[in-house]
A and B are shown apart, each in its own frame.
Chain A
Amino acid sequence: MKKTVQVCEAISEWSGKIVMWFCLALVLLLTFEVFMRYVLNRPTIFSYEVSTMIGVTIAAGGLAFTHKYHGHVRVDVFWRLLSDKGKAIADVIGALIFFFPLVIVLVYISTWWTYSSISIGEILIKTYLYPPAWPVRAAMALGLFLFVPQGVAKLMRDLYFIRRNEKL
């Protein structure tokens, strides 16, 4: 059990450590684009598509990492009043009702869309770059997919705390 939690959280940690550099990449890319377009008057053709792809990667790829550091905001009006054990129980119930069904469905549909995007050779048509659509769809699917093990790790921690009354 301890091993499983460690592996799951290591995945989240590494996904975050990689994805956070996309934040810097986004800043540098768009600053470069502004320089090229407004100073040199030579806008790049790729910045629009690449930056929105980075945006998807940040949003979806950061999910697991954010969950690991309790970054997803709660409306903790009542939750806050519970004891530590009560909080863990509430989180276990919440995970079973709200986390796994929704996230697994989202993984399923985003994987399906990625698959069909590849099979029909879908391209994005907002710019003249016409890039294939599947990488950005795959980034979203992958981010959601990595969200699952972090949910498992959190669930195991809560269950461990309920049973043994000590933190894993």
Chain B
Amino acid sequence: MIELSPEMVCILMLGGLIVTVLSGFPLALPIGTVALVVGLLAFGPTVFALIYQQIFSILHNYVLLALPLFIIMGVTLEYSGIADRMYDALYLILSRLRGGLAIITVLLGTILAACVGVITASVTMLTTLSLSAMVKRGYDHSIAAGAICAGGSLGILIPPSIMLVVYGPMARISVGKLFMAAMFPGLLLSALYCGYIFFRCLFQPKLAPTVTLEERTVPVLYKIRLLFSSLIPPALIILSVLGVIFAGIAPPTEAAAVGCFAALLLTAAYRKLNWSTLINILRRSLIIASMVMFIGACSVAFTGVFLKGGAGKVVEALVLATPGGRWGAFGMIMFIYFILGFFIEWIGIFFIMVPILAPLAPILGFDPLWFGMMICINLQMSFLTPPYAFAIFVLRGVAPADSGVTTAEIIRGVIPYVGLIIAALLICIAFPQIILWLPAQMIR
């Protein structure tokens, strides 16, 4: 046990975090080990109690129960085959449009986002559904991959999303309010994405050939029926989950449980629910939920040691000392999240950085809700920025080998979306009402 100054704790822990995490060992364990080692150095064995209580408080937490529940809901919907139906419906309506298939991908991502909320699930579904369809029709690989990665990442922002379920308890904000706040920024991003694809394909028509004539002749009545049968069920699930939260009837955890139940019923109604599907759903849910909760557990242990060592004050002083007043400090915070997004999984970033940085919002005179939402939008970029770009990993993992899409093409396709996310951030700075209007309308 040695005397460690707060500055020393800060440097040791953050430096140790970056170095050990990059070792490529499963993320949670290096994070926990850094907490344990620095904690033992600074406080001796008394740190055991701190680490235990931090971990226990995360695992034994009613609000965070929404996390496994939304994961179960997302995985169930992945197995329900609902995405196939929606894709078919959107295809019939929008395929005449130039760049239509890419726009469909983003739209489908937006709708899936509202019912899935787990990025692995939504990117996987989008890839299996639309990648080969686009490649086969001669779409530019970058356009196709970019639409899938960006559209799939929306899943974590548009409510109900597990990112917001984590942000709420960490920053002590109501998860319900966060859900409502994320609604319009999510739709704004989706609109920006679609607009970008539309205009890019308008000016560079060779990127996205239109579909051939024989594919277009489908009776209107059939189109309408397909649209209704595919869009009504997810709409009902979304409304059942978000409606009860908006109306202040039930907290997100209970709404999530009802959403899961509805998703299971829907899967049964589509005749996709049998014993082996159920086992698969539960297996995958368990794996994702346990993985997320373990990263969360080790990360809060990290944050507990970090804050007890006084390093939170160091970060605070550092951020507040940024030139340029409160906007300078805000820019600094955004930059910290942006940089971390290059290297670390968002779950780790959230559990570690939010308790440290969120208390700064009121000090700087920002609305905590708006501040939190800006961070969530900012982290959309973390899925798209290599070297650690989760959406790209998933796409590369799922894409069939014969599609011929290379990593370089994916990265080229994804970069414009980073620009669009920055544009969305600027729009939300100029018009904070995009974020704040809907939560203000909530009952209660």
Q: What is the interface of chain A, defined by CB distance below 8 A to chain B?
A: 16, 19-21, 23-24, 26-31, 33-34, 38, 48, 51-53, 55-56, 58-63, 65-67, 69, 71-80, 90-91, 93-95, 97-99, 101-103, 105-106, 109-110, 113, 136-137, 140
Pick the 9 closest A-B CB pairs, nearest first: A79-B24, A62-B290, A30-B257, A94-B25, A72-B26, A59-B293, A71-B287, A20-B282, A77-B387
Is B234 an interface position by the 8 A CB rule? no
Contacts of A71 in B (CB 8 A): 287-288, 290-291
Contacts of A30 in B (CB 8 A): 65, 69, 253-254, 256-258
CB-CB under 8 A for A75 and B282, given A31-B261, A98-B29: no
Q: B interface, by DSSP: helix, strand, loop or mixed?
A: helix
CB-CB under 8 A for A52 and B65, given A73-B295, A75-B21, A90-B24: yes
Is B43 an interface position by the 8 A CB rule? no
Once bound together, how far apart are the Cα atoms of A27 and B277, in whole Å? 16
Once bound together, how far apart are the Cα atoms of A16 and B288, in whole Å? 12
Once bound together, how far apart are the Cα atoms of A101 and B30, in whole Å? 11
Q: A interface, by DSSP: helix, strand, loop or mixed?
A: helix
Asked whether, in the complex, the Cβ of A63 is within 8 Å of the Cβ of B343, the reply is: no
* Distance between A66 CB and nearest chain B CB, rounded to angstroms: 4
Q: What is the interface of chain B, defined by CB distance below 8 A to chain A?
A: 20-30, 32-33, 36, 48-49, 51-52, 55-56, 59-62, 64-65, 68-69, 72, 249-250, 253-254, 256-258, 260-261, 264, 278-279, 282-283, 285-291, 293-295, 297-298, 343-345, 387-388
Asked whether, in the complex, the Cβ of B24 is within 8 Å of the Cβ of A76, the reply is: yes
Contacts of A31 in B (CB 8 A): 257-258, 260-261
Asked whether, in the complex, the Cβ of A97 is within 8 Å of the Cβ of B33, the reply is: yes
Once bound together, how far apart are the Cα atoms of A78 and B20, in whole Å? 12
Residue of chain B at shortest CB distance from A30: B257
Asked whether, in the complex, the Cβ of B26 is within 8 Å of the Cβ of A56, the reply is: no
Asked whether, in the complex, the Cβ of A27 is within 8 Å of the Cβ of B264, the reply is: yes
Asked whether, in the complex, the Cβ of A77 is within 8 Å of the Cβ of B24, the reply is: yes
Candidates B278, B286, B344; contact of A66 at CB < 8 Å: B286
In the assembled complex, 9 residue pairs joining A and B whose CB atoms fall closer than 8 Å, in A order, are A20-B279, A33-B254, A51-B62, A55-B61, A55-B62, A73-B291, A75-B22, A102-B33, A140-B56
Asked whether, in the complex, the Cβ of B33 is within 8 Å of the Cβ of A34, the reply is: no
Contacts of A16 in B (CB 8 A): 283, 286
Contacts of A73 in B (CB 8 A): 26-27, 291, 295, 345
Once bound together, how far apart are the Cα atoms of A19 and B258, in whole Å? 21
Residue of chain A at shortest CB distance from B40: A105
Asked whether, in the complex, the Cβ of A48 is within 8 Å of the Cβ of B62, the reply is: yes
Asked whether, in the complex, the Cβ of B22 is within 8 Å of the Cβ of A27, the reply is: no
* Distance between A26 CB and nearest chain B CB, rounded to angstroms: 7
